[in-house]
């Protein structure tokens, strides 16, 4: 126990403050860069307006916002269902504090394969699993369980092979499955320059914390999808930088 500014502080108080700070920090990390962040800002605005309506005696507005805030828990669950599912999945797999363990040699093989396929305009979609398991998606594909190497990746996506139509899933340093069907995002509709592969990459990134690399069959362009966002026109240097940052290098 010690005293700070006349306040008695015990180890329980410090533990309480530390746990609350840790929880808030991880909530910020989860919603940063997603649509949930914009929703949080909107909720803050609602709270400010509710407070002001009470101070200025705006009874009707105050009553309406009060009714809304009484069901705020249900609203949060509906609006943040995807983010809540991600957080619970990470806690359930006991990898809440860890990063995806992808070695540099695996990353090198992946990047070399992607750039080779880009030169030949070979369409490809490769998903790197991070903290949230992709078990349901893997089960719908063809199990491989093979070491990641550029020759195998390039062979899988050759257009006349049985496994080329679908996504490859990489877990740690292994190709666990190929020909996997991904959920499609509602984004990019009406944009002919982006096809099904790009919508599938965005779709899996909206529901999971995975990283998806896409090679366009029409233009040979390399893109990466994360957190519901698509980064396009990547060369080898930018692709390596994006992947290393996303994997916590």
Q: How far is the C-alpha of 63 from the C-alpha of 79, rounded, in Å?
A: 22
Which is nearest to 107 in space by CA: 209, 242, 222? 242
pLDDT score recorded for residue 198? 93
More reliable by pLDDT, 6 or 191: 191
Residue-wise pLDDT tens digits, 41-91: 788 898 999 999 999 999 999 999 988 888 877 877 776 676 666 666 656
Kindly report the number of other CB atoms within 10 A of residue 101's CB atom. 13
The model carries a pTM of 0.66
Q: Is the pLDDT of residue 191 over 50?
A: yes
Per-residue confidence (pLDDT) for residue 202, from 0 to 100: 93
Percentage of residues of the chain with pLDDT beyond 70:
84
CATH of domain 104-246: 3.40.1700.10
- Cβ proximity of 15 and 23 under 8 Å: no
Strand partners, 3: 8
Whether pLDDT at 35 is above 70: no
pLDDT tens, residue by residue, 202-232 = 999 988 889 999 999 999 999 999 988 999 9
* CA 142, chain centre distance (Å): 24
Measured between alpha carbons, how far is 6 from 4 in angstroms, rounded to an integer? 5
Q: Give span(s): CATH 3.40.1700.10, the chain.
A: 104-246
Give residue-wise pLDDT tens across range 75-133.
Answer: 777 766 766 666 666 565 555 444 557 889 999 999 999 999 999 999 999 999 988 78
């Amino acid at each position: 126990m010690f005293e700070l500014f006349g306040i008695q502080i015990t180890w329980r108080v410090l533990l309480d403050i530390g746990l609350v700070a840790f929880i808030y920090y991880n909530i910020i990390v989860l919603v940063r860069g997603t649509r949930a962040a914009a929703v949080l800002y909107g909720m803050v605005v609602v709270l400010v307006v509710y407070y002001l309506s009470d101070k200025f005696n705006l009874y009707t507005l105050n009553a309406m916002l009060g009714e809304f805030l009484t069901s705020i828990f249900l609203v949060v669950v509906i609006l943040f269902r995807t983010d809540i599912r991600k957080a619970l999945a990470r806690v359930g797999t006991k990898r809440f504090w860890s990063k995806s363990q992808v070695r540099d040699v695996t990353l090198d093989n992946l990047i070399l394969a992607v750039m080779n396929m880009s030169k030949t305009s070979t369409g490809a979609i490769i998903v790197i699993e991070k903290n949230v398991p992709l078990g349901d998606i893997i089960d719908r594909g063809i199990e491989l369980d093979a070491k990641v190497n550029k020759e195998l990746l390039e062979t899988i996506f050759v257009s006349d092979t049985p496994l080329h139509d679908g996504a490859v899933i990489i877990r740690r340093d292994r190709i666990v499955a190929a020909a996997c069907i991904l959920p499609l995002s509602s984004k990019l509709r009406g944009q002919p320059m982006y096809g099904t592969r790009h919508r599938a990459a965005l779709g899996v990134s909206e529901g999971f914390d995975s990283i998806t690399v896409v090679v366009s069959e029409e233009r040979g362009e390399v893109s990466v999808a994360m957190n519901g966002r698509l980064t396009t026109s990547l060369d080898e240097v930018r692709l390596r930088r994006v992947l290393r940052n996303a994997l916590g290098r």
